[in-house]
Structure 1
Amino acid sequence: MSVRVTRKVRRTALAIHTLDQPSGLAICRETGLGSGTVYPILDRLLAAGWVGATIEVVPRRGAPSRTVYHLTLRGQMGAGIEV
């Protein structure tokens, strides 16, 4: 699957690359984009192999788990981020 590198895709990729714990909410905050924009971008980037994800289980009782994203080498190269 190919990814069209728009400004929003690039902003999302840069946020994943620079944030310490890039969860969906943190990416939304960093980019200023809404969840209705960020999550579809993340889905496309995951499908293309640009992004990997790890589900982080939060140890506090009642707290939901969250997904933490990381940019793969393919994603760094595709988004034009220096390796």
Structure 2
Amino acid sequence: KDGELSVVQEAFVKHYAFQCGYCTPGMIMASYALLRDHPNPSEGEIRKALSGNLCMCTGYVQIVEAVKDAAQGLKNG
């Protein structure tokens, strides 16, 4: 929005949760949907929500950490 990154996008950058960028849009959209419906997701819920997106670069560890961080950031406003 207006050239600024969202909380989810900032978390992905902070945690290096992307490499080639191919899966990043889908991961971010899935993360938004998850956090909209479950503002405090468990790691299992995060992994399930992201399971429809394949990432061959990161191994998902950084992505899961980014979603956890985004959830915390959204909670803190």
Higher strand share: 1
Same fold (TM over 0.5): no
Q: TM-score, normalised by structure 2?
A: 0.40
Q: TM-score, normalised by structure 1?
A: 0.38
Larger radius of gyration between Structure 1 and Structure 2: 1
The structure, 1 or 2, with the larger RCO (C-alpha pairs under 8 Å, 6+ apart) is 2
